[in-house]
């Protein structure tokens, strides 16, 4: 058990923007909201997974929608509690602890809001060890847990409760609600026991994000050292350095979708690099050849400052360093790849090869 203060949540937001693989929402927004929350309500309690009782009631608190919308329609901050209240009212229970669905500049911070306001602990875990675009793309789903009932809320206090046995169907229904509710909403879902959380989550996500965020913060003082420590901490592979030549982006069906094209610089001069995204970067090709695919992470950084660049912030002229990062081991199983492998995103012909084993 430890407490997360302002520095910790800022580091988490920054680090989570790396682990989010381009998605998960704007880290600056996340930092502002988290800082305000901690200043107003005090430090947040973080529990390791083995510190939560097996019979405790645990629930996921997450945002759903297009990150492109999030930066224009900034959350009020009460949505996560509205969603939690809707779920508690529907199931006639109260929850003992919260956890995030994924690592993300906004989604890592999301459960901190109701946690701080209610004085509930957070678990140092998530359901992805990164970010993925869809609700069913979590380890809990792979292990057969139901996402329903789901509390859904917008910033005006309009709420829904969704009940379905099929997590992909839950994604469809909540995505439809997202579109009708303005493009970004809050959910409370995947209610589970402490025992289930221990068995089926990716452990240590907040701590990892915090460490990565602290490394990036140190880049202001020594960029080369920070780069080396980052590569080592993440087991990362450098994929490309280049200048963004073009971004095709459309916010459609509750997602930000598109493709970014980079022209090589430094050692990569003459090369072309493409990153396709559905909120998250899912496929990276160098000169037409896949070099990293989901479920491995594709993370972009400003070449000079090592500031993470999320999908919605990519624009013409950005000078980006792109890393490939091995995903959590749960995703490299056949069951995991069925949910988040290349085929799950429409790349039918592309086999999954761990990023560190691909030849360059």
The nearer residue to a second copy, 167 or 279, going by C-beta atoms, is 167
Considering only 42, 176, 235, 329, the residue that binds a second copy (CB under 8 A) is: 176
Interaction of residue 87 with a second copy, rule CB under 8 A:
no
Interaction of residue 69 with a second copy, rule CB under 8 A:
no
Interaction of residue 45 with a second copy, rule CB under 8 A:
no
User: Shortest Cβ distance from residue 78 to a second copy (Å)?
Assistant: 15
Interaction of residue 88 with a second copy, rule CB under 8 A:
no
Buried b (16+ CB within 10 A) or exposed e, 263-293: bbbeebeeebbbbbbbbbbbbbbbeeebbbb
**Angle formed at CA 19 by CA 23 and CA 54, multiple of 5 degrees:** 105
User: Shortest Cβ distance from residue 167 to a second copy (Å)?
Assistant: 12
Interaction of residue 246 with a second copy, rule CB under 8 A:
no
User: Shortest Cβ distance from residue 280 to a second copy (Å)?
Assistant: 22
Considering only 12, 66, 125, 159, the residue that binds a second copy (CB under 8 A) is: 159
Q: Which stretch binds a second copy (CB under 8 A): 21-29, 59-67, 161-169, 265-273?
A: 161-169
Interaction of residue 208 with a second copy, rule CB under 8 A:
no
Interaction of residue 83 with a second copy, rule CB under 8 A:
no
Interaction of residue 172 with a second copy, rule CB under 8 A:
yes
Q: 248: which strand partners?
A: 259
Is residue 92 exposed (0-12), middle (13-18) or buried (19+ Cβ within 10 Å)?
A: exposed
The secondary element (H helix, E strand) that includes residue 172 is helix 167-180
User: Shortest Cβ distance from residue 173 to a second copy (Å)?
Assistant: 5
Q: Is the torsion defined by CA of 311, 26, 204, 113 positive or negative?
A: negative
User: Shortest Cβ distance from residue 163 to a second copy (Å)?
Assistant: 5
Interaction of residue 164 with a second copy, rule CB under 8 A:
yes
Q: To the nearest 10°, report the CA torsion of 323, 327, 333, 339.
A: -90
**What is the Rg, in whole angstroms, of the alpha carbon atoms belonging to the chain?**
19
Q: What are phi and psi of 251, to 5 degrees?
A: -100, 110
The nearer residue to a second copy, 162 or 322, going by C-beta atoms, is 162
Interaction of residue 93 with a second copy, rule CB under 8 A:
no
CB 259 within 8 A of CB 274: yes
* Residue for token pair 């030849």: 359
The nearer residue to a second copy, 154 or 280, going by C-beta atoms, is 154
User: Shortest Cβ distance from residue 132 to a second copy (Å)?
Assistant: 20
Sheet holding 272-278, edge to edge: 289-293, 280-286, 272-278, 255-264, 237-252, 319-325, 297-302, 308-309
Interaction of residue 66 with a second copy, rule CB under 8 A:
no
Interaction of residue 158 with a second copy, rule CB under 8 A:
yes
Q: Which stretch binds a second copy (CB under 8 A): 16-24, 157-165, 236-244, 305-313?
A: 157-165
**What tokens were used for 5?**
């203060």
CB 182 within 8 A of CB 73: yes
* Number of residues engaging a second copy in binding (CB under 8 A): 22
Three-state DSSP at 28 gives helix
Question: Where do contacts with a second copy occur on this chain (CB under 8 A)?
Answer: 86, 90, 156-166, 169, 172-173, 175-177, 179-181
């Amino acid at each position: 058990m430890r407490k997360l203060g302002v520095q910790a949540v800022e580091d988490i937001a920054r680090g989570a923007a790396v682990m989010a693989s381009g998605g998960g929402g704007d880290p600056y927004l996340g930092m502002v909201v988290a800082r305000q929350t901690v200043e107003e309500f005090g430090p947040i309690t973080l529990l390791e997974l083995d510190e939560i009782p097996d019979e405790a009631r645990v629930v996921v608190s997450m945002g759903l929608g297009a990150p492109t919308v999030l930066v224009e329609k900034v959350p009020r901050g009460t949505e996560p509690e509205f969603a939690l209240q809707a779920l508690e009212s529907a199931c006639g229970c109260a929850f003992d602890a919260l956890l995030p669905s994924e690592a993300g500049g906004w989604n890592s911070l999301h459960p901190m809001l109701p946690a701080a306001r209610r004085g509930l602990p957070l678990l140092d875990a998530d359901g992805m060890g990164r970010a993925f675009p869809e609700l069913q793309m979590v380890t809990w789903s792979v292990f057969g847990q139901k996402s329903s009932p789901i509390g859904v809320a917008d910033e005006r206090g309009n709420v829904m409760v969704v009940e379905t046995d099929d997590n992909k169907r839950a994604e469809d229904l909540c995505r439809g609600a997202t579109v009708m509710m303005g493009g970004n909403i809050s959910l409370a879902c995947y209610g589970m026991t402490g025992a289930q959380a221990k068995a089926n989550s990716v452990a240590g996500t907040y701590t990892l994000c915090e460490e990565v965020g602290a490394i990036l913060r140190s880049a202001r003082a020594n960029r080369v050292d920070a780069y080396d420590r980052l590569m080592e901490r993440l087991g990362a592979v450098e994929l490309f350095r280049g200048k963004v030549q073009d971004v095709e982006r459309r916010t459609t069906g509750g997602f930000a979708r598109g493709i970014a094209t980079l022209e090589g610089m430094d050692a990569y001069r003459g090369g072309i690099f493409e990153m396709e995204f559905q909120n998250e970067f899912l496929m990276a090709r160098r000169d037409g050849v896949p070099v990293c695919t989901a479920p491995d992470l594709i993370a972009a950084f400003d070449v000079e400052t090592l500031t993470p660049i999320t999908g919605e912030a990519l624009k013409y002229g950005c000078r980006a360093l792109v890393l490939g990062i091995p995903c959590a081991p749960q995703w490299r199983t056949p069951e995991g790849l069925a949910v988040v492998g290349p085929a799950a995103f429409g790349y039918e012909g592309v086999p999954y090869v761990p990023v560190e084993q691909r030849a360059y």
